[in-house]
């Protein structure tokens, strides 16, 4: 059993640390197994150590301690060009003096491939990113999205077992970015190549990945498939970083298995899932997704019932966000599909609302803002 699992792993970070100045650790004790064929995303705020981790895997940075294994072998002393890894970066420029076809041929020629094989591979790579007719153009004659597709093709053309992408779509506008997200995802599905992708865009991470590793201050906070990360965040950082979130500060009143009761500042009690809490008396923060809050009659079956004063409506086409004053907070949001919105609801109304125990998570307190 353990052996089968080991065979499924392509990359292992084992106790990897990185310091640039010999004092502060930018990456702290990174332990991570990346499976063969997996699309794994490193997601986290700026400065959390994503690029540093990727650079160590690529071989452009050396771990301060620990070990990185590729297909079971330590690569600590293997230079970048011998690691068989393709790379795409946000500003990884194409060679401007070479045509698109020459750019794609380059990684193959340096590997000593014959001219006919090169031509065949280049043709296939161009077709993969739907640029069949563009082989003769120079990079400057392409749009940003087309250039990024060539960069993608160049990273894949030598059929590496592993491709690293660091914010490859960061420079593109929203529409093109979303199109390229699907394109990269489909290429990944077709080729079965292992991808390690870096972004600080949570939507991008959730859309594209098999698993997402959430980074914060050089540590993985949680690693899980997108749905699990969204529905079952393990701590406040993840709950707040992924998706929208109502947070209410409170104190742990009592604990009973995986359930708990939390007292709010004004004395109200909330029954919640005990996810990451200490002892009774300790501070906690409650996390409730806006789409899980039920209004009016829909709240009758909820274990937690309160009332809220409607402060604002924000229309977003298919759904509406309603800002309410609830439990002393003025920024409590409820999200409703347009079709379910009570047309009579107006600013100033006081309405009953509620949420089920399984939709409120008691987590570690957030640092004071």
Ligand X SMILES: Nc1ncnc2c1ncn2[C@@H]1O[C@H](COP(=O)(O)OP(=O)(O)OP(=O)(O)O)[C@@H](O)[C@H]1O
Query: Per rule CB under 5 A, is residue 51 in the interface with Mg ion?
Result: yes
Is 152:88 a contact under the CB 8 Å cutoff?
Answer: yes
Q: Does 83 bind ligand X (CB under 6 A)?
A: no
**Contact of 252 with 56, CB cutoff 8 Å:** no
Q: Of residues 232-271, which lie at the interface with ligand X (CB under 6 A)?
A: none
- Among 12, 41, 52, 99, the residue binding ligand X under the rule CB under 6 A is 52
Q: Which helix (H) or strand (E) holds 164?
A: strand 162-166
Nearer to ligand X, 47 or 160 (CB): 47
Rank residues 51 and 181 by Cβ distance to ligand X and give the closer one: 51
Residue closer to ligand X, measured from CB, 212 or 262: 212
Partners of residue 33 on adjacent β-strands: 12
Nearest to 353 by CA among 364, 362, 342, 343: 342
Please give the residue whose beta carbon sits closest to Mg ion in the complex: 51
Among the listed residues 30, 40, 43, 49, the single contact to ligand X using CB under 6 A: 49
Q: Could you please report the per-residue DSSP string of 130-157?
A: T-GGGTTS-GGGS-HHHHHHHHHHHHHT
Alpha-carbon gap, residue 196 to 271, rounded angstroms: 39
Give the tokens for residue 31: 């332990």
Binding partner at 147 among ligand X, Mg ion, none, C-beta below 5 to 8 Å by kind: none
Q: CB of residue 64 vs ligand X: minimum separation in angstroms?
A: 12
- The yes or no reply on residue 200 touching ligand X (CB under 6 A) is yes
Beta bridge partners of 363: 285
Region of 45-53, 138-146, 180-188, 236-244 interacting with ligand X (CB under 6 A): 45-53
CB of 43 to ligand X, least distance (A): 9
Decide: residue 33, CB within 10 A, 0-12 exposed, 13-18 middle, 19+ buried. Answer: middle
| Of 10, 16, 26, 360, the one binding ligand X by CB under 6 A | 26
Rounded least distance, CB 168 to ligand X, Å = 12
CB-based burial label for 313 (10 Å; 0-12, 13-18, 19+)? middle
- Please give the structure tokens belonging to residue 11: 């990359």
Smallest gap from Cβ 198 to ligand X, in A, equals 6
Q: Binding to ligand X by residue 12, rule CB under 6 A?
A: no
Number of residues this chain uses to bind ligand X (CB under 6 A): 11
DSSP letter at 81 equals G
The one among 30, 38, 41, 51 contacting ligand X by CB under 6 A: 51
Footprint on this chain of Mg ion (rule: CB under 5 A): 51
Footprint on this chain of ligand X (rule: CB under 6 A): 20, 26, 44, 46-52, 200
């Amino acid at each position: 059993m353990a052996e089968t699992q080991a065979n499924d792993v392509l990359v292992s970070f084992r106790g990897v640390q990185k310091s640039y100045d010999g004092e502060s650790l930018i990456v702290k004790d990174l332990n991570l197994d990346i499976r063969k064929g997996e699309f794994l995303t490193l997601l986290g705020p700026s400065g959390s150590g994503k690029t540093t981790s990727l650079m160590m895997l690529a071989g452009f940075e050396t771990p301060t301690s620990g070990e990185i294994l590729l297909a079971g072998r330590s690569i600590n002393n293997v230079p970048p060009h011998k690691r068989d890894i393709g790379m795409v970066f946000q500003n990884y420029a194409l060679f401007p003096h070479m045509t698109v076809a020459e750019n794609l041929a380059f990684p193959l020629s340096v590997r000593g491939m014959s001219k006919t094989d090169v031509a065949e591979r280049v043709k296939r790579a161009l077709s993969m990113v739907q640029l069949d007719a563009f082989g003769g153009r120079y990079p400057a004659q392409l749009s940003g999205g087309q250039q990024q597709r060539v960069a993608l093709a160049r990273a894949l053309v030598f059929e590496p077992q592993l491709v690293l992408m660091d914010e490859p779509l960061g420079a593109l506008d929203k529409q093109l970015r979303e199109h390229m997200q699907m394109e990269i995802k489909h290429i990944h599905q077709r080729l079965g190549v292992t991808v390690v992708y870096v972004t600080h865009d949570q939507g991008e991470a959730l859309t594209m990945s098999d698993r997402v590793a959430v980074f914060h201050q050089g540590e993985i906070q949680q690693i899980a498939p997108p749905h699990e990360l969204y529905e079952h965040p393990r701590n406040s950082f993840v709950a707040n970083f992924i998706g929208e979130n109502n947070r209410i500060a409170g104190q742990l009143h009592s604990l009973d298995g995986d359930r708990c009761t939390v007292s709010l500042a004004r004395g109200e009690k909330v029954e919640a899932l005990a996810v990451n809490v200490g002892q009774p008396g300790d501070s906690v923060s409650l996390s409730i997704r806006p789409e899980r809050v039920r209004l009016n009659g829909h709240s009758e079956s909820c274990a937690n019932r309160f009332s809220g004063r409607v402060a604002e409506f924000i229309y977003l086409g298919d759904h509406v966000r309603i800002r309410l004053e609830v439990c002393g907070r003025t920024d409590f949001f409820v999200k409703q599909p347009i079709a379910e919105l009570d047309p009579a609801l107006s600013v100033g109304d006081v309405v009953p609302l509620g949420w089920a125990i399984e939709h409120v998570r008691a987590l570690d307190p957030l640092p004071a803002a």
